[in-house]
């Protein structure tokens, strides 16, 4: 069974790479539409729709696979160690912030929800999918930062805001704090 989880985790990595290719392509098509004539716009409208649907499908599939595989402790530790040793900024930039939602999954959701809630129950899945959208998930970050301050950790609000704006807050949380130390509970 462990091999299945590792295979799924490799599939997740491939989906992230696919996302790193498709999202910039989607942005390029939109920019191209803005600077070109209307005749060309009609032709690229179909491409835009295909890229948009592909991006949404890849984001949903990769989150679902990540929810399923991170409950395997070896994979979770491997991912945390990778984040601690590597620069995540290129991933954040190339995925337009979507990669931070994966790191938020790693830090928060996997510990907060059970596997059955994330994979099988629609109400938890809808809530986590909404939280997987950059900007909308700011309430989770606020909740985590409040809990960090309540536990007595020395964290400057200015530093947290700066990290959020440059897209590195999730990386900072994964590198410096353990979710289990924060005891988020059912607030």
- What are the tens digits of pLDDT across the range 153-174? 888 889 999 999 998 998 998 8
List pLDDT tens digits, range 85-141.
Answer: 999 998 888 888 888 888 888 887 766 666 556 556 555 566 666 667 777 788 888
Cβ atoms of residues 26 and 52 within 8 Å: yes
Question: 76 to each of 71, 80, 110, 164, 170, how far by Cα in Å?
Answer: 7, 6, 9, 23, 15
Question: For the chain, what is the radius of gyration of the CA atoms?
Answer: 18
Whether 173 contacts 144, CB under 8 Å: yes
Distance CA 108, CA 144 (A): 8
The residues spanned by each domain of the chain are 2-182
- Give which of 187, 175, 184, 173 is closest to 151, Cα–Cα: 184
Is pLDDT above 70 for 59?
yes
d(C-alpha 133, C-alpha 63), whole Å:
11
pTM for the complete prediction?
0.77
In sequence order, what are the residues at sequence separation of 6 or more whose Cβ sits closer than 8 angstroms to the Cβ of residue 102? 16, 62, 63, 66
Separation of alpha carbons 181 and 179, rounded Å: 5
pLDDT tens digits, one per residue of 15-41? 888 888 888 888 887 787 777 765 455
């Amino acid at each position: 069974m462990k091999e299945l989880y590792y295979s799924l985790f490799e599939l997740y990595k491939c989906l992230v790479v696919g996302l790193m290719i498709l999202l910039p392509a989607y942005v390029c098509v939109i920019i191209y539409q803005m600077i070109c004539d209307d005749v060309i716009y009609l032709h690229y409208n179909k491409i835009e729709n295909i890229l948009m649907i592909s991006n949404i499908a890849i984001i949903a599939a990769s989150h679902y696979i990540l929810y399923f595989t991170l409950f395997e402790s070896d994979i979770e530790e491997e991912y945390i160690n990778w984040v601690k040793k590597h620069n995540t900024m290129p991933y954040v930039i190339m995925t337009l912030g979507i990669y931070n939602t994966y790191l938020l999954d790693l830090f928060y959701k996997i510990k907060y929800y059970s596997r059955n809630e994330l994979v099988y129950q629609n109400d938890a899945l809808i809530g986590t999918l909404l939280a997987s959208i950059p900007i909308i998930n700011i309430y989770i970050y606020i909740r985590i930062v409040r809990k960090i301050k309540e536990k007595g950790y020395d964290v400057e609000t200015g530093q947290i805001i700066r990290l959020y704006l440059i897209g590195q807050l999730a990386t900072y949380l994964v590198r410096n704090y353990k979710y289990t130390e924060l005891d988020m509970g059912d607030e």
